[in-house]
Amino acid sequence: MPAANWEGWERTMCDILDRHGANGGRVIIFRNGISAQLGEYNTEVNEDVFGHRYNIYIGPRGHWVNHGDGGWINWAFQGQSRREGKNVWF
């Protein structure tokens, strides 16, 4: 993705987080195909963003790991959590 589009990508990820996790609810998004260790969750939905499929996990719990890089193109999350590098606990 060209650097000129990064701000739009970040804004789009934030919009998805807000839509699925109103009022700061727990949500985590992974780009489809990114290697990740998933924890537990209540619901999974999918959305297409700029030609890429994203898996959105609502109500995540436990330990999650992003095995890709840490940028907005691969993952995003919100809600009460603790992050250490590519690890996040909800």
| pLDDT number for residue 3 | 55
How do residues 63-78 score in pLDDT, each as one tens digit? 999 998 777 678 899 9
| pLDDT number for residue 24 | 86
87/6 Cα distance (integer angstroms): 23
Say if residue 1's pLDDT is above 80.
Answer: no
Query: Number of folded domains in the chain?
Result: 1
3/65 Cα distance (integer angstroms): 26
Element (H, E) at 13: helix 6-20
25/33 Cα distance (integer angstroms): 25
How many of the other CB atoms lie within 10 Å of CB of 88? 20
- Which pTM value belongs to this model? 0.86
Longest C-alpha distance within the chain, in Å? 35
Q: Which domain holds residue 70?
A: 3-89
| Beta bridge partner(s), residue 65 | 37, 87
